[in-house]
Structure 1
Amino acid sequence: MAAKVDKEKCVGCESCVGECPVECIKMVDGKAVVNEEECVSCGACKDACPAEAIEIK
C-alpha cells in the first residue's frame, strides 16, 4: 500500500510535503508526487490534504 495522488484534485498547496514523516513526497509541475517505494502508508499526507486528493491504496 502507498499514498496515491489524484493529480486532477491536487491544488499544489504542498501541505502534504511537510507532513510526510519519511519525506517521500515532492512537487513536480505544481502537483504532489509520492515515491511509492519509500511510502509507509501512514496517512499523514491524506489527513493534511485540504483538497482530498490523496488516498492510501
Structure 2
Amino acid sequence: MIKESVYECIGNTPLVKLQHLPNATNSTKIYGKIEYINPGLSSQPLKTTQNIDL
C-alpha cells in the first residue's frame, strides 16, 4: 500500500497474533504491536506528529 503522506501511517500500528508461546492455553490470544512500522517509533500519535513537523 502506498501512502500519500507519512501522517497517514500515524496511529495505525499493525498488530500480529503471537502463535507459538510457551505455557499459553488454547483459549489465550496474545497480540503484539509492530512498532518498527510506526514512522516516529512512538506509541503516542501526538508526539509522533510533533517530531515529524520539526
| TM-score normalised by structure 2 residue count | 0.27
Higher normalized strand content (fraction of residues): 1
Greater RCO structure (CA 8 Å; 6+ sep):
1
Look at both structures and tell me which one has the larger radius of gyration over its CA atoms.
2
| TM-score normalised by structure 1 residue count | 0.26
Higher normalized helix content (fraction of residues): 2
